[in-house]
Amino acid sequence: MIYTDKVMDHFTNPRNVGELENANAVGEVGNARCGDIMKIYMTIENDVIEDIRFKTFGCGAAIATSSVATELVKGKTIEEALKITNKAVVEQLGGLPKEKLHCSVLAEEAIQAAILDYCEKNGKEIPEALSGCGGCCGGCSHNHIAHE
């Protein structure tokens, strides 16, 4: 497994790692069976992601993509944050090995899951982008990455 320097940087010095006690948006995707779980905590005020933290169970790429994703969305409105795709996460890391691309999808979906939680808790209209996938770890039947 050969990772870029940027992946290694985010893996060894993950940004925004931990929990937020006063989080008003929490999203968790993936499952232990597949070996990847990402949990994102946000404090959102006036639809702006003021603060963000993550916890991840997973490989080097899972930790690095979580870290980058939190950097990409911090300070953004939820509308802007929902436009950030896994592709942006991969670009920011200078690329990922092919078999690790699902980690970037998981990061995108963790962000979405947290925003969905915020919208539901606050009675906001659910943005169209949030259409139902519970987390793409690539290994389970409910996911949309081809497997087996």
Partner 1 sequence: MEQKDIIYLDHAATTPVKPAVLEKMLPWFSQNYGNPSSTIYGLGRTTHEAVEGARETVAGCLGAKKEEIFFTGCGTEADNWAIRGCAYANRKKGSHIITTAMEHHAVLHTCMQLEKEGFSVTYLKPDAEGLIQPKAVEQAIRPDTVLITVMFANNEIGTIQPIAEIGKIARTHGILFHTDAVQAVGSVPVEVESLQVDMLSLSAHKFYGPKGVGALYVRKGIRPDIFMQGGAQERGRRGGTENIAGIVGLATALELACKNMDETMKCIAEKRDYLIERVLESIPYSRLNGHRTKRLPGNANFSFQYIEGESLLIWLDLNGIAASSGSACTSGSLDPSHVLLSIGLPHEIAHGSLRLTLGEETTKEQLDYVVEKLTNTVEKLRQMSPLYEAVQKG
Question: Which residues sit at the interface with partner 1, rule CB under 8 A?
Answer: 1, 3, 8, 11-12, 14, 17-19, 28, 32-39, 54-63, 99-100, 138-139, 147-148
**By CB neighbour count within 10 A (0-12 exposed, 13-18 middle, 19+ buried), where does 19 fall?**
exposed
**Contact between 15 and 70 (Cβ < 8 Å):** yes
Q: Write down how long the chain is.
A: 148
Distance CA 44, CA 137 (A): 26
* Residue 56 or 86 with smaller CB distance to partner 1: 56
DSSP one-letter code for 31? E
Considering the complex, what minimum distance in angstroms separates the CB of residue 87 from partner 1?
21
Q: Return the closest-CA partner of residue 63 out of 104, 5, 11, 19.
A: 11
Q: Is 136 a catalytic residue?
A: no
Active-site residue, selected from the candidate residues 34, 119, 136, 137: 34
Considering the complex, what minimum distance in angstroms separates the CB of residue 72 from partner 1?
19
* Residue 48 or 57 with smaller CB distance to partner 1: 57
Place of tokens 């998981």: 106
Q: Is 140 a catalytic residue?
A: no
Considering the complex, what minimum distance in angstroms separates the CB of residue 128 from partner 1?
28
Coil, helix or strand at residue 14: coil
* Residue 41 or 118 with smaller CB distance to partner 1: 41
Residues involved in catalysis = 34, 103
